[in-house]
Amino acid sequence: MNPLDDVAFGPPTAAMTRPLLAVARRIFTDTFSHRYDPDAFGQFCDQAYAVDGPMARDLGDPDVDWQVAAVDAKPIGYAKLTPLRAPAQTARPGSLELQQIYVESAWHGTGVAERLMQWAVERAMQRGAPQLYLTVFDHNQRAKRFYARHGFQEVGRCTFTLGERVDDDRIWCRELVA
């Protein structure tokens, strides 16, 4: 049996707000917490994943598109498409950003991320975006390999600040052809 048979994909319901904030925090923590001072990391998450924080605001923003992967109505991952926020120097007008694609580790390698990426590309093309951008931590080898497989390539650099620490992020881009 295909594990994807149990996964429903669609936009988030209002009832999913809190579970989505929780799953986002868990995936972010699983992926990155080992790199940071625990107190600074906890403070960052308290703010980023608060019910009135930036992620919650994006859930109510009509310019932000979401796709959630859920099992029995419980989110196990999501992708989020925003207007371009990364400092990409040569972006064409109307380009969009895949700001997050987050999947619970138990579902890595199952095709859930694949489906979320497929949605992001199709949705960005529907919105008329000429390019799709994203940022990725330079040491996130798994994500970089996944993005490369989906036609993205590095086009620039930026930084990500958490507490006192400033990390090296990379800007990647995929051209979208209708």
Among 49, 78, 102, 119, binds ligand COA (CB under 6 A): 102
153 lies in the binding site for ligand COA (CB under 6 A):
no
Of 97, 82, 87, nearest to 132 by C-alpha is 97
Give the strands of the sheet with 165-175, arranged side by side: 8-10, 65-71, 74-83, 96-103, 131-137, 165-175, 153-162
Instruction: List C-alpha distances in Å: 84 to 3, 50, 137, 141.
Output: 33, 23, 17, 23
Among 12, 19, 26, 31, binds ligand COA (CB under 6 A): 31
Shortest gap between Cβ of 76 and ligand COA (angstroms)?
10
- Residue 152 φ then ψ, to 5°: -90, 150
33 lies in the binding site for ligand COA (CB under 6 A):
no
81 lies in the binding site for ligand COA (CB under 6 A):
no
Among 92, 108, 139, 157, binds ligand COA (CB under 6 A): 108
Cα–Cα distance for residue pair 160/1, rounded to 1 Å: 40
Shortest gap between Cβ of 124 and ligand COA (angstroms)?
16
Q: Which is nearer to ligand COA, 138 or 175 (CB)?
A: 138
| Close Cβ partners of 13 (under 8 Å, ≥ 6 residues apart) | 73
Q: Which is nearer to ligand COA, 127 or 144 (CB)?
A: 144
157 lies in the binding site for ligand COA (CB under 6 A):
no
113 lies in the binding site for ligand COA (CB under 6 A):
yes
* Residues between 126 and 145 that touch ligand COA (CB under 6 A): 136, 140-143, 145
- 131-169 in b/e form (b: 16+ CB < 10 A) is bbbbbbbeeeeebbebbeebebeebbeeeeebeeeeeeb
* Contacts to ligand COA by CB under 6 A: 27, 31, 101-103, 108-109, 113-114, 136, 140-143, 145-146, 149
